[in-house]
Structure 1
Amino acid sequence: MKKILSRVFAAWALIVFIITMLPVALLMWMIGTIKEPKRTNYFRIISKIWMRIFFFLTGCSLKIKGINNFKPGEKYIVICNHNSLMDVPLSTPFIPGANKTIAKAEMAKIPIFGLIYKRGSILVDRNDKNSRKNSFKKMKEVLNLGMHMCVYPEGTRNKTEMPIKEFHDGAFKLAVETETNILPALMFNTKKVLPPGQAFYFWPTKMELHFLPPVTISKSDDVELVKQNLHKIMSEYYINQLKKLP
């Protein structure tokens, strides 16, 4: 029965997504001439309203903890765990303040959705060395503009048995080079909504987004040690919180 219902919910979620996406795409096109960082802040506000509507109409809900860990006037590299395609709609719109996400370039080729995707992202082709180098430079520009940079250090969705996969170096190298503090964020239950490996599946679920206290970074820090420390902090928190979730 759940298998049948999940497909019914998936069909409804797809219809809602497409219908609500059209006016959002128009708004994203309209803000194209606005200068940064104001344009990205408008993007975040529009995306947040869009996702709130989408969650409501598809029976999902979102609980957020730790907003007070963002200090006014401060910028952060926000690092998130990655379990599901639902993670992106939870991160960028609900991070307080203008922010951009490092994202796969191929997703920007999707008609209409690609316009929205490009507005909130630094695009990277992971198979292209020059693209990776250029994206790193653009992430520094985002931070220089006073915006947060959102990164998924696991790289791809976690399909392993590990609570959090091993991290790549990029976010931590960026933090040390720019001396930007890192703020860890953990998302819960997104895998229940859109499980990796499940075709045409959607299940209404209460999701959670927890922002942890920021970790201070200096240029004298060792990138590898910073990476290991953040992985430990996030893994331990994730495991402990899973025990408390329904």
Structure 2
Amino acid sequence: MIAFRIFAALMKALKKIASILYRIWVILIFSVFMIILLPLIVLPILLGPKYGSLTYFGLRLWSLIFSFFTFIRYSVVDKQKVDKSKSYIYACNHTSFLDLPGLVQGVPTQFRPLAKKELLKIPVFGLIVRVVTIIVDRSSAESRRDSILKLKRVLEEGISILIFPEGTQNRTELPLQPFYDGAFRIAIETKATIMPTVITNAGRLMPPSTLNLKPGRVKVIFGDEIDASEYSLKELPFLKEKVFNHMIDIIKKHDIKS
């Protein structure tokens, strides 16, 4: 019995050490290759939107390298539903910091995510956030209005945008948190097409608000596009409900928890 307890304690300690070493490895891979590819990611988009595809090539390359060396694999499901000739509002659930590499691999064209200003504080990554996203200060009504105007301009340029309608990473036991109105108001006002997008398993591999990490597989699943031009602002709640229910159906269909 004593020998068994010693063995169990030893295995627990080794598991903890392995977890710490893996976490350090992931952070190193994340940072080192982001620094190496920084010129390819940052410089093209500074020259103008038409060069943004080069920036997103750099981001996809970084994501593939990150995935290869960390054993965090990404599968893209129903990618054929995305029409490369269209610009979309990608409405996606948000489960983890691991969502972004999957979206970069899954979305076939360049896009502009709406990002919170706190991400600017992350070394190196913050610089990339500054040039490839639209920043919003959620505590400022003026910043929120300005970000909406910028998102509309991006759509008018024929570039897709990405919004997490839950507003933040899902820290609940629910498959989806209630949606905010912003993405759907923009969609109706610009007569855009919404592409419901679901990320799965990222939250289990890296839970929100932690640096706990483990290898595994993350899925990026595209739903059926929804034409917001068929809705008026008075019908916004119905559009929001339709997208929400469609994403819930995707989760149920794949028999997974977010």
8 Å Cα contact 1:176/1:218 also seen in 2: yes
8 Å Cα contact 2:60/2:105 also seen in 1: yes
8 Å Cα contact 2:79/2:106 also seen in 1: no
Structure-to-structure mapping, 1:70-219, within 5 angstroms: 70-198=82-210, 200-218=211-229
Distance across 2 between alignment mates of 1:21 and 1:101: 18
Identity %: 30
Aligned to 2:30: 17
For residues 87-120 of structure 1, the C-alpha deviation after alignment (integer angstroms, 9 at most, x for no partner) is 1222244311110000011212333221111222
Distance across 1 between alignment mates of 2:96 and 2:219: 13
Give secondary structure in 1 for the equivalent of 2:27.
helix
Distance across 1 between alignment mates of 2:117 and 2:55: 19
Higher helix proportion: 2
Shift of 1:40: 2.3
TM-score (norm 1): 0.92
1:51 to 63, 76, 87: 63
Aligned to 2:3: none
Shift of 1:243: 4.6
Task: Determine if the alignment matches structure 1 residue 231 to structure 2 residue 224.
Answer: no
8 Å Cα contact 1:78/1:183 also seen in 2: yes
Aligned residues: 243
Distance across 2 between alignment mates of 1:3 and 1:80: 33
CA radius of gyration, larger in? 2
Letter in 2 for 1:46: G
Structure-to-structure mapping, 1:33-52, within 5 angstroms: 33-36=46-49, 38-52=50-64
Q: 1:32 to 1:143 in 2, by over 3 A?
A: closer
Distance across 2 between alignment mates of 1:215 and 1:90: 22
Shift of 1:72: 3.5
Distance across 1 between alignment mates of 2:257 and 2:161: 29
Distance across 1 between alignment mates of 2:93 and 2:45: 30
Letter in 2 for 1:240: K
8 Å Cα contact 2:63/2:104 also seen in 1: no
8 Å Cα contact 1:82/1:152 also seen in 2: yes
Distance across 1 between alignment mates of 2:87 and 2:204: 31
Distance across 2 between alignment mates of 1:158 and 1:239: 17
8 Å Cα contact 1:28/1:119 also seen in 2: no
TM-score (norm 2): 0.88
For residues 201-241 of structure 1, the C-alpha deviation after alignment (integer angstroms, 9 at most, x for no partner) is 11011111111110111164311110011111111221331
Shift of 1:5: 2.7
Unaligned runs of 5+ in 2: 1-11
Which range moves more in the overlay, 123-132 or 231-240?
231-240
Distance across 2 between alignment mates of 1:34 and 1:203: 38
8 Å Cα contact 2:45/2:54 also seen in 1: no
For residues 142-182 of structure 1, the C-alpha deviation after alignment (integer angstroms, 9 at most, x for no partner) is 10110111110000111111110000000000000000010
Shift of 1:16: 1.1
